[in-house]
Amino acid sequence: MLQTAAIVLAITALGGLTMAAIRFASRHNPPAWLAMLHGLLAASGLTLLAYAICTTPVPPTATLALALFLLAAAGGAVMSLGYKWRQRLLPKWLVIAHALAAVAAFALLLLAAYGTS
């Protein structure tokens, strides 16, 4: 299950990279459909990860990954509801903070899913 969550979240990351590129290359926010798809895939991956943590023995890094992903999700919600919904330009610092939390969480998830320990 951890590996499936990692795959779903890797696909999610591709959408996140695309949206970050759009935001940093122009003075426009990414399209709403892409943000919605990104959020839906992220929620799916987080649900799988949470289910795995609750039902199977997993390394502690998986739990830490979930906590960081939830922090990243909170940042995504702030961007969506606080900025995009109100048609305000996403602050670059918030995009970077969201990405850093998600990247750290993803690295921990990969360690938990594919690590040898």
Instruction: Tell me the pLDDT tens digit for each residue of 43-55.
Output: 999 999 999 999 9
Query: Distance between CA 34 and CA 48 in Å, rounded?
Result: 21
Decide: 77 and 33 in contact? Cβ < 8 Å: no
Q: What are phi and psi of 41, to 5 degrees?
A: -65, -40
Would the pLDDT of 105 be above 90?
A: yes
pLDDT band at 85; cut points 50, 70, 90: confident
84 or 53: which carries more pLDDT confidence? 53
Q: Which of 92, 100, 72 is CA-nearest to residue 28?
A: 92
Rg of the chain, C-alpha, whole Å: 14
Q: Which domain holds residue 13?
A: 2-114
Q: What is the pLDDT of residue 23?
A: 95
Number of domains observed in the structure of the chain: 1
Query: Distance between CA 63 and CA 91 in Å, rounded?
Result: 29
The CB-side HSE value for 103 (13 A sphere, CA atoms) comes to: 9
